Amino acid sequence: MAEYLSPGVYVEEVAGPKPIEGVSTSTAGVVGVTERGPLHTPQLVTSNGEFARVFGGTLPAAEFTDAGHTHHHLPHAVEAFFTNGGKRLWVTRVLPEGAAGARRTMMFADPAAATPGDTVLLRAAQQGSASAATPPALYALAPANFAVGDTVRIGQGSRSEYLQVQSIGAAARHVALDSPLRQGHAAGAAIVALAPAADDAAFPAAGQATFATVGDAAAGTAELVLEAGDVATLAGLLPDGSPAANWRLLQVGAAGVADFVFVRRAAAESATATRVWLARALQTDVPAGTAAIFVDTAGGSASTLAVPANVGDVLAYPAVSPLPAAFTTGSNAVIVDLGNDNQEAASIGQLATLPLSPPLQAAAAAGTLGQRVTLAADDRSVVAVQPGNQTVQLDDVGHLAPGMALTFSDGVAFETRFVDAIDTAAAEVTLRSALPWAPVGTVTLAAKALTAAAGPGAVALALDDRQGLEPGDVLVLGTDEVVAVRALPGERGPAPDAGAVLLERPLASAHAAGTPLRRQVVQVDPARQAVIVVLDAPAGAQALLVSNGTGFAAGDVLRLTLPDGSRAHARTGAAFAAAAPREITLAAPLAFSHAAGLPVLERQPLFDIQAIDPGAWGNRLLIGARDEAAGLAASTEVLNANPPPGPGMFSSLQLTSITGVEPGTVLEMHQPDGSAVPGLLKVRRVDRATRLALLDAPGLAAAHMAAVGAAALLGHRVRVQSREFALFVMLRRRPDPTTPSRDDELLDQEVFRNVSMDPRHSRYVERLVGITFTPGSDTDDAGEPVRRADRRSEGGSAYVRVRDLAAPAPSAAREAIRLGPEPLEDRLPSGLVRPARLALSLGDDQVPAMDDAMYVGADSNEPTRRTGLQTLRNLLTVSLVAVPGQTGALLQQAVIDHCELMRYRFAVLDGPAPHADTLVDVQNHRQQFDSSYAALYHPWPLIPDPYPASAAVARQLPVPPSGHVLGIYARSDNERGVHKAPANEVVRGITGLSRYFTKAEQDILNPYPVNINVIRDFRPQNRAIRVWGARCITSDGALKYVNVRRLLIRIEDSIERGTQWVVFEPNGPPLWSALRRAITDFLTTQWRDGALEGTKPEEGFFVKCDETTMTRDDIDNGRLVCVIGVAPVKPAEFVIFRIGLWTADAQR
């Protein structure tokens, strides 16, 4: 009691009646398989949209069905719950223990790697190939810097993939061809290498297999006229219609520059000449008199093709390994598919790289023809001199014009004269003034010069003299750059006709004003074999890979005939370098196909990224990365650069602002003109008072100090900018066969800006995104506790977690300079560039391992260790429980046991699924249970299939009724009260039923003790589809109605929660009276709401708590016994109207 020790006024609060509040009965809990979401951790959702955000969307039945067991129902049940009026739903996601999360390793180019591997694919690589178990291997151009165990990137953009090198071949496996294949050849086709020798056996006498061409034949010609050999025998060997086995191989040209073609037909042209028809056209021009020798195709070194050979290929791959010498001898020829209609032959080349100087002017596609040409200044020679030495006959007066300056010589002295007139018929030029002597030898045309500088990429030149120039002319600009004239715009003026010249290709180098240029005479070198460009070379390329680099030296000029017919010229900067390609076998097959010429680059692992939750959904996650254009510290000026003051000390920078600079920041120094200074810097510590950034070793280098000093001399300052990266996490929509064009659409995207790879930095990737964790573990991979709400690690991403792969402290690896993942890009057809999207993989739901035990789960003394259905034991507010779509007897009995154990819960069970859902099937299913804590509903409703096989077929999907019924329970409770039977209620959100039951059939299913609640179709009566039953599956007749059991649950739960204050109160009449008053008030409210029978409260309930309900033993042992009786209202299940005849004068 209160103490009253001194006089005064004391105000005391007196406890009044303690009301009992009715508990909610509309909160449901469900267990099942979802697309994603926390495992074995119930999550509250209050709308279908919130469910989709946390757990994903609907699941395709085809992907979540195994051995007839379906596991895709929960998302449909959740949607049905909210559609039918549900408000609150706890969802527990379950998966088998073997389910795996999607993952990938993000890679980077480690600046600490001394000689990283860098090459390209020499042949296309097919999806599923390149491993030891799935040949062929990759064939890379120059894998010298690769080693076994290296991780390499193959491809570019979103189709890049990173795989480990398992082995590297010891020798080349290719044969280079001097001419591209004109036919396709399957793997396994015969390939023969032989030394060309005259086919004397086919002709009567030795030497008669050698012919000569009659007339010139242009490239692309498929017919030749031959003479000088045994023309009669030749015509007889190849009559019209000769089978491929009889065709004869013809070598056109001398050894080393020959073109090998098969002759399929020959016919006498005259007594001394024969016309032959070739199986393919000639590759190059053939002048008259060229030797043509029929070659003996017998013998040689034979093998088969290891991989298919395609049209246009200049490399073939024999299966034999190592290659016999016959396949690598340059004077030999190779025949593919000998004796078949698509047989063809080519001479063997030397695969080589030609360095270029200046760089390539125009893009040269693979297959481009290249010919070595000689360039000679367009000078002339004196033929004769007319008396007076003023008119001179030249060997050629083409491209000369009046006003041009010519320099003559008598062998000792030189004189320059201007041309006054030209007689093209006599090839004579008349000079403006006579020469002092009769000229002899070479006449030199004056060089032209640039009147304005021209930079790389320029397509127009300003010249002091355009005389004698015409479109198509080849010029040498300066000492090495070869250009071709496309047009001379504007009107041609009088000598010297200064003006602009437009070029066929942009310039590759810069040229100052005054640079000379001269027109050239171009001649193809007949002693050099034409070459084929093997890999695409972009404009600006520093080298070309060609099929035969033999004999090329520095300064040689290569004329390229491009696919559009135009020509470009390139000059070699050094002698050819023989290529040394090798096969690379990977540890796993390729996931994509990759074209020849795509990069193969050595890369190092940076961090692992994995889906936040297990399941195949993670395979739809895409990861992108790019360097931030402007860092957290954007273009800050450097006031002072301080080298280390002593051994073991650190250099520093004093900045105008240290905003965005913190320990772990990577800085890049820029010259005042914006160009970068080589060498990145890492901040170790920041002194904000002095704006001093202390740098990690090695810190400032000579290049940095020189840049700072040079800028200061000019009155400027260098600047520094921080380097961070942006990380993109994207979730694609689920693939839909009806709309495949939308499969790449994004459902959501997360962007993490200004991310760092240094743990000292506030935006360290693990800190920003979140670190990886093991589902079910109490700590994450860094040892920190996981969140209690969803049992995940802390982090900002809703989809992924990351793990830095550098060794943690005390190692300094994490504090080294690492800029972030390799910033790959995709160029869209529209021309836009976006970060590449790299997919996660290996996510697996383990559908075959899904069973009833997974749903039931395991109980544990530790609540966080519970799984499956047992996780609902951790919740106090759940009053309805279901496992939608799962109708196994053991599982449904487990749900009933759970509700009976928890006492205040009610189970909603689904009847058997189609197509085992007949009247007999559902009766047999019902016979396995007996409980007043559960109700069984049948049949399954139908909804439109969200994943139809075809958009033209509107397929219906059966879904379990429990989701709809749970929503109807909640709707009925909220609108009418738990005492109203949840029946005669419209089922929303369905299109029909999987099976229709009639009244006669329900007459069998509804009565006690079967008590199966049927969903009936009343659409013929315009009353929609309704739940038409409200019975529990119990043999206890007193508790056969759902509303009766659930009303008792509500009353019992409410009284238990609302009377906790009674515990340890004095067990006497005052307490008994207060308790009776509280319970009576609560039950009176229920009676007034219509939940209890009677016209007055005494008829609906009674409450007794006095000496009559307790014995002395009860009181002495601390027991308070209160006896309560309630009379719940029962549903009007059978409405009966008894009608009889009645007359107006009848007596009642």
pLDDT at 205 (0 to 100): 84
350 secondary structure, DSSP code: -
Does residue 733 have a pLDDT over 80? yes
pLDDT at 508 (0 to 100): 86
Q: Which of 229-238, 607-616, 993-1002, 1038-1047 has the lowest mean pLDDT?
A: 229-238
pLDDT at 35 (0 to 100): 97
CA distances from 514 to 1051, 1079, 1112 (A): 105, 110, 125
Compute the Cα dihedral for 760, 762, 765, 769 and give only its sign: positive
What tokens appear for 1001 in the block? 């059939």
Mean pLDDT of 1035-1060: 97
Percent of the chain with pLDDT over 70: 100
CA distance 507 to 362: 9
Residue 222: closest CA among 287, 280, 273: 280
Q: Can you say how many angstroms the Cα of residue 381 is from the centroid of all Cα atoms in its chain?
A: 66
* 703 Rama sector, left if φ>0, alpha if ψ -120 to 50, beta otherwise: alpha
CA distance 732 to 54: 15
pLDDT at 741 (0 to 100): 82
Give the burial string for 120-155 (b: 16+ CB within 10 Å, else e).
bbbbbbbeebbbeebebbbbbbbbeebeeebbbbbb
Q: Regarding beta strands 800-804 and 442-445, do their DSSP bridges make them parallel or antiparallel, or are they unpaired?
A: unpaired
Does residue 273 have a pLDDT over 70? yes
267 secondary structure, DSSP code: E
Residue 857: closest CA among 898, 829, 796: 898
Residue 498 exposed, middle or buried by CB count within 10 Å (0-12, 13-18, 19+): middle
At residue 756, φ and ψ (nearest 5 deg) are -120, 155
What residue type is 675 in one-letter code?
S
Does residue 830 have a pLDDT over 80? yes
CA distance 308 to 183: 11
**Neighbour tally for 1083: CB within 10 Å:** 24
Mean pLDDT of 72-93: 98
CA distance 1059 to 1065: 11
**Neighbour tally for 1074: CB within 10 Å:** 19
Does residue 910 have a pLDDT over 70? yes
Confirm if 443 and 380 have CB atoms less than 8 A apart. yes
pLDDT at 567 (0 to 100): 85
Which residues face 105 on adjacent strands?
608
Which residues face 638 on adjacent strands?
655
**DSSP labels for 1006-1046?**
SSTTT-PEEEEE-GGGT--EEEE--B-S-S-GGG-BHHHHH
Give the global pTM.
0.88
pLDDT at 778 (0 to 100): 94
Write down how long the chain is: 1148
pLDDT at 1147 (0 to 100): 56
Across 733-847, the runs of DSSP E, i.e. the strands, are: 746-755, 800-804, 825-827, 833-835, 838-839
Mean pLDDT of 56-74: 94
Tell me the per-residue pLDDT of 1119-1148, one tens digit each, with 9 for 90 and over: 999 999 999 999 999 999 999 998 877 654
Mean pLDDT of 624-652: 91
Reduce the DSSP state of residue 869 to 3 states and report it: helix
Mean pLDDT of the residues in the chain: 93
Residue 603: closest CA among 121, 113, 140: 113
Mean pLDDT of 105-111: 93
Residue with tokens 């064009």: 741
Confirm if 849 and 96 have CB atoms less than 8 A apart. yes
What tokens appear for 178 in the block? 């001097």
CA distance 458 to 564: 21
What tokens appear for 166 in the block? 């398992």
Residue 772 exposed, middle or buried by CB count within 10 Å (0-12, 13-18, 19+): buried
C-alpha dihedral, 661 to 664 to 666 to 669, nearest 10°:
50
Q: Which distant-in-sequence residues (6+ apart) come within 8 Å of 323 by Cβ?
A: 171, 172, 173, 175
pLDDT at 779 (0 to 100): 96
pLDDT at 331 (0 to 100): 87
Q: Counting runs of H as helices and runs of E as strands, what totals does the chain give?
A: 14, 67
Confirm if 165 and 586 have CB atoms less than 8 A apart. yes
Tell me the per-residue pLDDT of 487-539, one tens digit each, with 9 for 90 and over: 999 888 788 889 999 998 888 889 999 999 999 999 888 888 889 999 999 98
Does residue 844 have a pLDDT over 90? yes
Residue 1015: closest CA among 957, 967, 970, 962: 962
C-alpha dihedral, 708 to 714 to 717 to 721, nearest 10°:
-80
pLDDT at 1146 (0 to 100): 60
What tokens appear for 386 in the block? 């007319």
Confirm if 94 and 39 have CB atoms less than 8 A apart. yes
Mean pLDDT of 670-677: 94
Q: Which of 52-66, 792-806, 1131-1145 has the lowest mean pLDDT?
A: 1131-1145
Residue with tokens 């249970």: 929
Confirm if 430 and 391 have CB atoms less than 8 A apart. yes
Cα angle 1028, 1032, 1037 (rounded to 5 degrees) comes to 110
What tokens appear for 811 in the block? 């190692």
pLDDT at 1 (0 to 100): 64
Reduce the DSSP state of residue 276 to 3 states and report it: strand
